[in-house]
Amino acid sequence: MSEETPVEDNVKTFIDNIVKKYNLDTDAKIAYNRGSEIGDGFMSKTYAVDINDTKESLHLFLKCALNLTFPEGTGFDQIYTNEIHFYERFVPTYMEFLKEKGITDGFRNVPKCYGTADNKILALQNLKKDGYELCDKVLIGNDQHIELVFKTYAKFHAVGFAYKDQRPDLYNKLMEGVTDLIRGTNEEFNRQRMEGSKVVIDEFFKKLDPRRDKFIVDQTQHILDKLTEFGLNFGEDTSPNPILIQGDCWCNNMMFKYITSKEYPEDVMLLDWQAIRSGSPTFDLSYFFYTTAPVSKKTLKRVDDFLEIYHEELSKQIKQLGSNPDKLYPLSDLKKEWHRYAKFGFCMAFMILKAMLGKKEEMPNFDGTDMTEALRDGKFFNNVSNDDEYMRRMRNLAEHFLLNEFL
């Protein structure tokens, strides 16, 4: 065995079990390397593991839980339980449902899972070996990326709508294993977390120019009141037909395959299913859209176009699966919920845009951390140097929300 990166004994034992599970040679050559770069992920330690024997090779991406302490009642101690539940229960169920219905162009945009252990380790397909990569954080905001991602979420959400419609008891059974990390059960902590988030939001408004940004500045209190009201409920979802959503939809939780230009993605895989929960599809869509589209005012103006692209694909998929999209989620419901819940994407942008624009050395290292204060105060990414670009994108976003009366 050759080891380029030191690994813990429990990881080695886990890989030994993978070798046995897939009937590989017990003396297979195993190489460990770093799985991702600093800033590509925050709640996991990752390894790229190559297993080679005389018969075949396995190229794995290991996600291992960090040594973290979470506050009680918030559900954050269940992030790995959620993701393992998704790969071991939801993925096989959804894939079998699609196969049974004869769907060949449906949702398949998740890496293969080769095994899990102790609610702390997942062995996934190493997508880099198949030509997938993280996106350019400027190009991710172009029309081609957004259309592809919206269509992919449409395929994912369609399976949830149709399966819930046709097999409600089985669907509800699947949902029993999901912990909602957004709201949790600790109301006092949620209140403190909103107060911490307001610090980050207030910083944005303090940096605005009263003359150049008069349109936004004049409505500062209105924006703060609306975001605070929304945030105190942490996206309370009153959707009449909620389904399983991914929950954590920023660009680092996606990998793209390109043919030639990085402007035109051919395919996308969705990663990180730790924040799955029941909710309106608009939580997934607004999170992704409002952390990527602010690169351009022109792109933000196309919000209705993208919603219609999403809904067209959603309807097509639901029909193929044997249910009625006009009954389950008509376009009017989508647009109504967008007006109600798009604020979630706005709230997430205050933090996520800092993560997207920050340098590697500015990214936090949470290993061994008591997350109570960090989660409560919302100060993950306060010290990013690219503040001018951050302010430009957030100005675009604030103006967009005011002009469209989404607040």
Residue with the larger pLDDT of the pair 347 and 360: 347
Q: How far is CA 397 from the centre of its chain?
A: 20
Residue 93 lies in a domain: yes
* Strand bridging mode 132-133 / 57-65: unpaired
Residue 399 lies in a domain: yes
pLDDT at residue 229, as a whole number: 81
My answer on whether 142 and 50 are in the same domain is no
Residue with the larger pLDDT of the pair 25 and 237: 25
Least confident of 97-101, 120-124, 145-149, 371-375: 371-375
**Cα–Cα distance measured from residue 355 to residue 351, given in angstroms and rounded to the nearest whole number:** 7
Residue 369 lies in a domain: yes
Query: What radius of gyration do the chain's Cα atoms show?
Result: 21
pLDDT at 270 over 70: yes
Q: Which CATH number characterizes residue 301's domain? A: 3.90.1200
**Which residue, among 131, 137, 126, 134, has the nearest Cα to 35 in the 3D structure?**
126
**Cα–Cα distance measured from residue 198 to residue 193, given in angstroms and rounded to the nearest whole number:** 9
pLDDT at residue 355, as a whole number: 85
**Cα–Cα distance measured from residue 45 to residue 371, given in angstroms and rounded to the nearest whole number:** 16
Residue 352 lies in a domain: yes
Question: What count of other Cβ atoms lies within 10 Å of the Cβ of residue 117?
Answer: 17
Residue 72 lies in a domain: no
- What domain range is 264 assigned to? 84-110+135-403
| Residue 10: both structure tokens together | 């429990």
| Residue 92: both structure tokens together | 């096989």
Residue 265 lies in a domain: yes
One-letter-per-residue 3-state SS of the chain: CCCCCCCCHHHHHHHHHHHHHCCCCCCCEEEEEECCCCCCCCCEEEEEEEEECCCCEEEEEEEEECCCECCCCCCHHHHHHHHHHHHHHHHHHHHHHHHHCCCCCCCCCCCCEEEEECCCEEEEECHHHHCEECCCCCHHHCHHHHHHHHHHHHHHHHHHHHHHHHCHHHHHHHHCCCCCCCCCCCHHHHHHHHHHHHHHHHHHHHCCCCCCCHHHHCCHHHHHHHHHHHHHCCCCCCCCCCEEECCCCCHHHEEEEECCCCCCEEEEEECCCCCCEEECHHHHHHHHHHHHHHHCHHHHCCHHHHHHHHHHHHHHHHHHCCCCHHHHCCHHHHHHHHHHHCHHHHHHHHHHHHHHHCCHHHCCCCCCCEHHHHHHHCCCCCCCCCHHHHHHHHHHHHHHHHHCCCC
My answer on whether 14 and 147 are in the same domain is no
pLDDT at residue 120, as a whole number: 85
My answer on whether 57 and 90 are in the same domain is no
Helix 220-232 / helix 387-403 crossing angle, nearest 10 deg: 90
My answer on whether 60 and 98 are in the same domain is no
What average pLDDT score do residues 368-379 get? 56
Residue 148 banded pLDDT, cuts 50, 70, 90: very high
Residue 55 lies in a domain: yes
My answer on whether 349 and 397 are in the same domain is yes
132-133, strands of its sheet edge to edge: 132-133, 254-258, 265-270
Q: Count CA within 13 A, CB hemisphere, residue 215.
A: 10
pLDDT tens, position by position, 158-212: 999 999 999 999 999 999 989 887 766 556 666 666 666 777 888 899 999 999 9
pLDDT at 3 over 50: no
My answer on whether 153 and 271 are in the same domain is yes
My answer on whether 285 and 240 are in the same domain is yes
| Residue 260: both structure tokens together | 């030639």
pLDDT at residue 318, as a whole number: 98
My answer on whether 15 and 98 are in the same domain is no
My answer on whether 278 and 309 are in the same domain is yes
Residue with the larger pLDDT of the pair 91 and 75: 91
What average pLDDT score do residues 112-137 get? 92
My answer on whether 210 and 281 are in the same domain is yes
One-letter-per-residue 3-state SS of 19-42: HHHCCCCCCCEEEEEECCCCCCCC
**Which residue, among 338, 330, 292, has the nearest Cα to 311 in the 3D structure?**
330
pLDDT tens, position by position, 306-333: 999 999 999 999 999 999 999 999 999 9
Considering the chain, what is the average pLDDT of its residues?
87
**Cα–Cα distance measured from residue 268 to residue 194, given in angstroms and rounded to the nearest whole number:** 33
β partners of residue 65:
44
My answer on whether 348 and 306 are in the same domain is yes
Q: How many domains does the chain have?
A: 2
My answer on whether 253 and 357 are in the same domain is yes
Residue 291 banded pLDDT, cuts 50, 70, 90: very high
What average pLDDT score do residues 45-69 get? 85
What average pLDDT score do residues 140-164 get? 96
pLDDT at residue 70, as a whole number: 62
Residue 342 lies in a domain: yes
Residue with the larger pLDDT of the pair 75 and 155: 155
| Residue 2: both structure tokens together | 């050759």
pLDDT at residue 50, as a whole number: 94
* End-to-end alpha carbon distance in the chain: 58
pLDDT at 91 over 90: yes
